[in-house]
Structure 1
Amino acid sequence: MSYQRPPMPLPEELASLHISNVEPDASHKLPNLTAPSVPIRRPPALPPRFLGNSTNSKTLCSARLNTSEMSATTQADNIFQSPISTDAPLGIFSRVSHPVPLPANTTISGKATETNKFYGNMLIGDQTNPAWTHPYSFFWSKDAYAGLAVSYISASQRVFGGGNPPEYFFGPAGLRSFVFGATDFANVGQMSLGFTNLTHLQAHVKVIKNQNQFILVPLVQGMGFASAVYYNMIPSLFSPIGYKSVVGVTSPRSGIQKYKIVLQNNVTWSLYVTVPSGQSLALALSNANQIVGNKSVNGCIFQLVPDTNSAIDAAAGCYPNSGTLSGSVSGTTGQYTISYGLSGSSNGGKTLMYACPHHVASFTSAMASRRINSSLDSVTMGKMTGYLTSTFELQVNVPSQIGFDPYSAISGKSGPQYSADVLNNIRAAAQSEANGNVVNESNVDSMYFGGKILAKYAWTLYSCQYVLKDSNLVNTLMGNLKSAFSRFINNSQILPLRYDTTWGGIISSGSSSQDFGNSYYNDHHFHYGYHVLAAAILAKVDRDNGGNWLSQNRTWVENLLRDYSNTNSADQYFPVFRSFDWFAGHSWAKGLFPSGDGKDEESSSEDVNAAYAVKLWGNVTGNQNLENIGNLELGIMQGSLNSYFLYLDNNTVEPAQIIPNKVSGILFENKIDHTTYFGTELQYIQMIHAIPITSISSFIRSPTFVDQEWNEKLAAIVNNVQDGWRGIIMLNRALSDPSSSYSFFAGSSFSNNYLDPGQSKTWSLTYSGAFI
């Protein structure tokens, strides 16, 4: 895949200006604080459910459908407590080493290494692309300002593209507010990066001179301070922007020096320097761009924040070094907590964290007393709010009541119900499509497109089994679908899968440019989500007909599931939650490709599909924890996607200028671009956030949003769209106007040319016809 709109080139920093040395207040030269510590750190299947005899009767009557088996009332103490499996990946996946090696000085402790996380840029390429923790980004600076750079971009610095509304905006690239350096580095060649504690919630980055001399920068998303700990180094704090003034101010306590710094761009920062007991350190401004220490220190903490609110003093000296995830689901309520391990100490016993808008909207009442009057901008996730805390405690509405059956969020549409006329039209479509050649259609050199075909026929199978109750159609289609699956299960598709022992994952045997970069870990949740969801439907229908396909093929399906959604670090073969980012509230699609704008995701709806697959597979296999992890992910995405990807007219999270675009297009950590990787047609950009339309779609895409997008973007173009995107547009319309959607698919002028390759007419009628 390719992407054609790079960031606009901008000047890196303001020119350095000459200013006089500034001596800190003498009270800051008496530190006596203790040095901080930085720690290095299968359930049985559900029994078959008898649904009664299938029928092939031509006489169809009005029917209400209810085939769901969702667990809506059982609570688990911690749904993340156990892995899906700890077995080695199946032997059919040949073992290979990845062409992208792990970087030097990386400690992995026998675990698989994350590929799609916020710090991924630092592990690949020349290692100089940024890692976004929000509200900061960090990157390796390898010029005269040698060290680890910190960048903070305010909302006023965003750069917008042309058009009305603008096609994109981004944060200026390469701006370095500060660089954590040391005078011990005589030249860049003496400096290297190292990594420890790489998990899905944190990374410890070391700027190394040697084993005993290094700067440690723990990266945790939402960290309030840009913190660096110096070990046997003489601190040097660069600002390529330039220092306008540096003034020592009243310290929070003995052992902490505090400075007010104004940069040449007029942004004011607070600097806290915690000097370990028994050591001393004096700082001086040696030139317009550099503050230096007078001696080597061991365990000294430098902390920066672009705010001067005195409430922040209570967190000075303490920083997060790790994150631990826990959660539970009870009924339609999901709760999750990110607990932050802390290093150092502070007056308040907590650290400073900044929360994104979707966090603030979901925080439990316990968080209210921890909020302070401090807010900072992120580039693409809105304004962040400050909290003095060691935990994020959140509660969301989860779709425990939504199963396989069509669901609508339209008021009064309590459940699917089919008239005789609708059933007749579904049957007419199914009699044709159930005999489709799923075996040949899925014989492609792409896990993505192969998975879409399997899912298309799986939803058709659902309709034949539970809506039409037609045993002949079920038996025909189920046999063909099993044959198509067998090619993948035997790993005999055009591009067989392999197990990569370098990073730990199941990848395509294609090149980096084939199958959307699957072999470099791009889009695994999109690709494998389709396979897992199709397998869940097939396993359910087969079991309800007395079969044992599930027990025969469960391990293969769960190998794919573990690749993109491993739930626990006890499974050493795959990283934990490769795709889903529990802080950002959605997945990242980009794998082992360097990116100046960070990780990105294009298709929010296929992210939803992947989480829905987790939920359905957990349900079919009786793995309640897994089912509830899927439920919790979907509950979180209902908030995050409607903040950052899908824009109601009253959205106040993203810049007002881009809200009329209605969708993000591609969301990066540093850019939102109303386009796609595969083309710029409006139907592509809008509907890549809708495809595929399934029973979970209405939980995310509200009737109000769908109506607004239809009126503002789609109604004017739909009649000019003559390919499969028209079918997606019109099935999406069923989320707000099922009658119009159904009339389109049932009408005499309908053409199969309007169907996306992953969409059947049978399912389109089944979904839209359920709510008319």
Structure 2
Amino acid sequence: MVAQTSGNLFGAIATSSPVSTFFRKASTVAVPSGVATTSPIQTNNFWGNLTLGDQTSYVYTHPYAVWMSTLSKFKGLAVSDQDASQRVFGSDNSEKAASYFYMPAGNKCVVLGSSDFEKGMSIKMANLAKLSAEVKLQSAKAGYLSCHLVQGMGFISGVYYDLIPEVHSGIGIKSVSGATSPRTGTNKYTIVLNDGRVWSMYVNFTDNQTCSFALKDNYHIIGSNSINNCSIQLARDKFSSYDSAAGCFPTAVTLKASVSGSTGTYSFNYTTQGSSNKGTSLIYALPHQIESFTSSTSSKKTAATLLDTVHGEMTGYLTNVFEMSESLPTSIGIDPWSSISGWSKPSYTTDEMSKIKAAALIDAAADVYTASNSDSMYFSGKVLDKYAYVLYVLYYVVKDESASKAFLKKMKTAIERFSNNKQTYPLCYETNWKGICSTGGMADGDTSLDYGNAFYNDHHFHYGYHIHAAALTAVVDKALGGSWYKDIKDWVNTMVRDVANPNESDTYFPVFRSFDWFIGHSFAHGITVYADGKDEESSSEDYNFSYAMKIWAQVIGDTNMEDRANLMLAISKRSIGTYMLYNQSNTVMPSKFIGNFVSGIKFENKIDHTTYFGTNVEYIHGIHMLPITPVSSFIRTPEFVKEEWETGPLANLVGSVDSGWKGILYLNSALYKPTLAYQFFISGFQDKWLDDGLTKTWALAYSAGVRQ
């Protein structure tokens, strides 16, 4: 496997076997034959569909969609790229915006194939890495086609080994014509499809080989003879920059990063094959990347642009390095924090302190051990975390040491049920794909139990709550002279490794299971096939994991882990603030959709303004809010929250909500108008308006703490 990270920032957390409390168990989902299993396999990654089921579902490399086509006469690696006019929008919803939109992914615009595949074709997956993978399509009687998948690649490139090349189109081919060759050893063709759209084809020869191409029929372009170690590259449209890059394509990516003070720099460093006039390939960049490019990368911009599936317009760059810079949230810790202009630090009046203390003493009387005794890692984590915030308030806000010590004991006992793996459904180390999974639903394949944790769904959501609860409890314990964090360190670190292992020398977990460094946020979906690609429903529980990792890193003194967490948060702010949270000035997302203010469920090929658990408006908006933490205001800016509340549906909706979502909506309003939130929680408040992951104690402490 090609190295994906380098530098101290990505040093391994640990390389030892997961602690023995996680017993070993194999998933009912087997790894398909032909998928290389020498290293842990990515479960939530962009190329995941090619390792699942019959391995024919779509993979989104952005801007292209690719898949293995097994249809007779169209066998090979199929490619789709669509225009804005082909977007499909759902009817307007109650928020007067399109209820969903997607790109039709199944159009076989072009297919890299071979006449030899008609005698039989099989797939192998090799060189599986976080940011790349190699697809090998093997002929039954001849050679094979090798295609490297890399996010942002400008060409779909295939290297032919002892095959007669053939390019198909399910749309139909109007014409294919030779064009001026950009360089010696490369032949260029222009393909016009029946829908009028144009594709460019480059054929790159080695060892003085030749092969001419002609239209076989309305759907196939056939090569005159077998070729070996020669490549064909296909790209949508006919930009001049394609000529500069033809002959060179990326095969792998190394992620590098460094931190200096509150500035983080990270880069994608592309390993390439072949050569070109420019000495580089062409890589398409997403809008959020372009905003953060350093000058060295910005200068490589071309006129090539293609529309992505759900991320707006991508722009081509002639470069082998994408370098980006971000401002890190280094000032955010465990105290209430706000990005409201003029706010500096939390402070409380005597009256506020009295109300917070009264609420804290009531919440501290809870039986945390029983309350957290759930068959769900998700819900138990939420309960533990909400009470960890109560412990924080008792010690740091109320400053009641006696009450803090008593409640600390309760918290440690409750958390130790999980660190000792004695919960209803214990966690195991799953040995097929390699990771820490719930055993709930694993034996009978029930993906609905605990949101499919056993199948690698939502690990960053679930474990983020547990990690933060343990971290905040350990903070108070250390302040009181304890060293309890040492007892739970291996357990917490193992959860961090499962979700965000930073280094391939840790051979027990894939690198960064959840976080997609190219897209800029995590994906929640695991090892079941989704035709629209990986997805995520809760942006807030995504960055809650990074925040939890940051606080835990402070507890154990791991500055590299803290830097990584800060960098992930900074990237998430930019990405989520572009593709999932919509200021009404957003020009990246479709104008028909930004009136929803939030994405709902974001797939790689579709955004659906709904949730997996219901269509209520408060659900759709609230799942992108909870939990409200010190880092919330960093991602959910006051400007966005104000628009969502006042221009969007929330101000008119909140009065009719009579559930725990009401408390979530009002605490979220503290991100732009803290007094509104604080008054709600002190005036006629009812406990039924508390979400199961929220206490009145934290709601008062946060909303009062960020008031100016």
TM > 0.5 fold call:
yes
How big is the shift at 1:212?
Answer: 6.9
- Indicate whether 1:165 and 2:97 are aligned: yes
1:181 CA displacement: 1.1
Query: In 1, Cα distance between the equivalents of 2:141 and 2:368?
Result: 58
Is 1:119 matched with 2:51?
no
Show the counterpart of 1:278: 208
| 3-state SS of paired residue (1:563) | helix
Is contact 1:155–1:379 with CA below 8 Å preserved after alignment? Answer: no
Given that 2:2 and 2:252 are in contact with CA atoms closer than 8 Å, whether structure 1 keeps it comes out as no
User: Structure 1 residues 341 and 737, CA, compared in 2 at 3 Å: closer, same or farther?
Assistant: same
Q: Does 1:441 align with 2:371?
A: yes
Residue 54 of structure 1: aligned partner:
none
1:97-116 correspondence to structure 2 within 5 Å: 97-109=26-38, 111-116=39-44
Deviation per residue, 1:522-544 (Å, 9 max, x gap): 00000001111111101111011
Structure 2 SS opposite 1:299? strand
The Cα of 1:79 is off from its aligned counterpart by 4.5
Q: Provide the rounded CA distance (Å) in 2 between the counterparts of 1:606 and 1:236.
A: 46
8 Å CA contact 2:175–2:215 kept in 1: the answer is no
Task: Determine helix, strand or coil for the equivalent of 1:395.
Answer: strand
Superposition deviation, residue 77 in structure 1: 9.4
| Residue pair 2:290, 2:298 contacting (<8 A) in 1 also | no
Listed as ranges, the matches of 1:260-339 within 5 Å are: 260-339=190-269
Counterparts of 2:572 and 2:140, CA distance in 1: 43
Specify the alignment match of 2:671 in structure 1: 735
Other structure's SS at 2:564 match: helix
SS in 2 for 1:716: helix
Tell me, in whole angstroms, the C-alpha distance in 1 between the residues paired with 2:267 and 2:11: 17
Match of 2:332 in 1: 402
User: Which residue does the alignment assign to 2:567?
Assistant: 632
Match of 1:721 in 2: 657
The separation in 1 between residues aligned to 2:508 and 2:343, in whole angstroms, is: 44
From 418, 427, 447, the equivalent of 2:357 is 427
**Matches of residues 412-491 of structure 1 in structure 2 within 5 Å?**
412-491=342-421
Count of residue pairs brought into register by the alignment: 696
- Cα distance in 2 for residues equivalent to 1:595 and 1:368: 35
What is the identity, as a one-letter code, of the residue corresponding to 1:643?
T
**Which amino acid counterpart does residue 153 of structure 2 have in structure 1?**
M
**Code of the aligned partner of 1:133:** T
CA distance in 1, matches of 2:103, 2:378: 32
Structure 1 residue 542 corresponds to structure 2 residue 477: yes
Which runs of 5 or more residues in structure 2 are unaligned? Answer: 442-446
Aligned to 1:349: 279
Of 641-650 and 468-477, the range deviating more from structure 2: 468-477
Aligned mate of 2:71, from 123, 143, 146: 143
Deviation at 1:106, TM superposition (A): 1.8
Query: Residue 418 and residue 77 in structure 1: after superposition, are their counterparts in 2 closer, same or farther (change >3 A)?
Result: farther
Contact residue 146 and residue 160 of structure 2 kept, 8 A: yes
- Aligned-residue offset at 1:277: 2.3
Shift of 1:160: 0.3
Q: 1:585 to 1:290 in 2, by over 3 A?
A: same
Do 1:77 and 1:328's aligned partners in 2 also have CA atoms closer than 8 Å?
Answer: no
Of the structure 1 ranges 403-412 and 148-157, higher mean CA displacement relative to structure 2 is found in: 148-157
Q: Percent identity?
A: 48
- The list of structure 1 runs, each at least 4 consecutive aligned residues, that deviate by more than 6 angstroms after superposition, is none
Within a 5 Å distance, the mapping from 1:622-661 to structure 2 comes to: 622-661=557-596
After superposition, residues 670-749 of structure 1 pair within 5 angstroms as: 670-711=605-646, 712-747=648-683, 749=684
Q: Are the counterparts in 2 of residues 337 and 392 from structure 1 also a CA contact under 8 Å?
A: yes
Is 2:15 the partner of 1:80?
A: no
Q: Residue 595 of structure 1 is aligned with which of 516, 530, 533?
A: 530
CA contact (8 A) 2:2 2:129 kept: no
Q: How does 1:242-261 map to 2 (within 5 A)?
A: 242-261=172-191
Residue in 2 that maps onto 1:7: none
Aligned counterpart, 1:615: 550
**Match of 1:687, as an amino acid?**
G
SS of equivalent to 1:248: strand
Alignment of 1:8-47 (within 5 A): none
Relative CO higher for 1 or 2, CA cutoff 8 Å, sep ≥ 6? 1
Are residues 1:208 and 2:138 paired?
Answer: yes
Contact map agreement 1:526 1:607 (CA 8 A) in 2: yes
CA deviations 1:84-128 (Å, max 9, x no partner) are 00010111111111111111112233x211000000011111211
Deviation for aligned residue 1:477: 1.4
User: Structure 2 CA distance, aligned partners of 1:173 and 1:386?
Assistant: 21
CA RMSD of aligned residues (A): 1.3
Q: TM-score, normalised by structure 1?
A: 0.89
- Give per-residue Cα distances to partners, 1:416-441, cap 9 Å, x unaligned: 11111111111000010011111111
Report the equivalent of 1:134: 62
Alpha-carbon distance between aligned partners in 2 of 1:687 and 1:211, rounded to the nearest angstrom? 56
Once the two structures are TM-superposed, the CA of residue 153 in structure 1 deviates from its matched residue by 1.6
- Give the gaps of 5 or more residues in structure 1: 1-38, 42-75
Q: Distance in 2 between matches of 1:508 and 1:149?
A: 36
Q: How does 1:154-193 map to 2 (within 5 A)?
A: 154-163=83-92, 164-187=96-119, 190-193=120-123
Q: Distance in 2 between matches of 1:79 and 1:653?
A: 35
What CA distance in whole angstroms lies between the structure 1 residues aligned with 2:106 and 2:116? 24
| Cα distance in 2, alignment partners of residues 418 and 326 from structure 1 | 43
SS at match of 1:184: helix
Distance 1:585 1:664, change over 3 A: same
1:313, distance to aligned residue in structure 2 (A)? 0.8
Q: CA deviation at 1:81?
A: 3.5
Q: Contact 2:6–2:254 at 8 Å: present in 1 too?
A: no
Secondary structure, in 3 states, of the residue corresponding to 1:215?
A: strand
Distance 2:480 2:140 in 1: 65
Moved more, 593-602 or 150-159: 150-159
For 1:186, what is the secondary structure of its paired residue? helix
Q: CA deviation at 1:40?
A: 7.8
Pair 1:575-2:510 in alignment:
yes
SS at 2:299's partner residue?
helix
Q: Which amino acid aligns with 1:303?
A: Q
Aligned-partner SS, 1:570: coil
Q: For residues 77 and 466 of structure 1, do their structure 2 counterparts lie closer, same or farther at Cα, with a shift above 3 Å needed?
A: farther
Contact residue 42 and residue 433 of structure 2 kept, 8 A: yes
